[in-house]
Amino acid sequence: MAIVVVPYDPDWPRLFIEVRAELEPVLSDLAPVFHHVGSTSVPGLAAKPKIDLHAAFTEQQALPVAIERIKGLPVYTFHGDKYNDQSWAFTSGKGSYGARLYLCTSDNAVLRDRIIFRDYLRAHRERADAYAALKLRLMGEANDDWSYYTGGKTDFVRETLRRARSI
């Protein structure tokens, strides 16, 4: 699959709300809190046109129920917990954009880091601009090698999290 990073789209916050609205009736009795994360959640940031969101549950026992319910939706593809980080991933395509949904508990470390990273980029425009430049450079260099693209962002993300935690 081609790696495509596009300029910020002001429709992304609305698309998050639409995806959340589609999921809320399926999960409402489990009381998830939805979080818009990833580059589409940072105003002005170039991103892959995929809305990243977490549905976080207070109760651990809600997760297996939520996973089975989302698996039952034909628009979502289940990817499991491929990094063993207690965050179960699903993807869907929606024309010119898609969604990547993660199900986890509210205290999940991946969710915590994604929120810290998002909030730091929202508050530090120069860091968000540097991240956009890195992603665009990696897209050009990666030749559709997702490992190269993702791996090329690792040091930047770690440094940004370090900066955010030192405030």
| Predicted pLDDT of residue 94 | 66
Q: What whole-number distance in Å separates Cα of residue 93 and Cα of residue 47?
A: 16
- Supply the CATH number for residue 115's domain: 3.30.460.10
| Predicted local distance difference test score (pLDDT) of residue 95 | 62
Question: What pLDDT, on the 0 to 100 scale, is given for residue 1?
Answer: 73
Q: What does the pLDDT read at residue 18?
A: 96
- 123 in a structural domain: yes
Whether residue 130 is contained in a domain is answered as yes
Residue 82: strand, helix, or coil: coil
How many residues comprise the chain?
A: 167
* pTM (2 d.p.): 0.94
Using DSSP's 3-state secondary structure scheme, residue 162 falls into helix
Is the residue at 89 inside a domain? yes
Query: Which residue type occupies 158?
Result: R
Does residue 2 lie in a domain region? no
* pLDDT tens figures, 146-155: 999 999 999 9
pLDDT at residue 107, rounded to an integer: 97
Count of domains forming the chain: 1
Domain that holds residue 117: 11-165
Sign of the four-CA dihedral 8, 11, 12, 13 = positive
Of the candidates 98, 97, 80, the residue with the CA atom closest to the CA atom of residue 88 = 80
In a domain, 4, yes or no: no
List, for the chain, all residue ranges whose pLDDT scores fall below the cut of 70. Answer: 94-96
Residue with the two structure tokens 């609205």: 21
Decide if 114 contacts 100 (C-beta within 8 A): no
Report yes or no on 65 lying in a domain.
yes
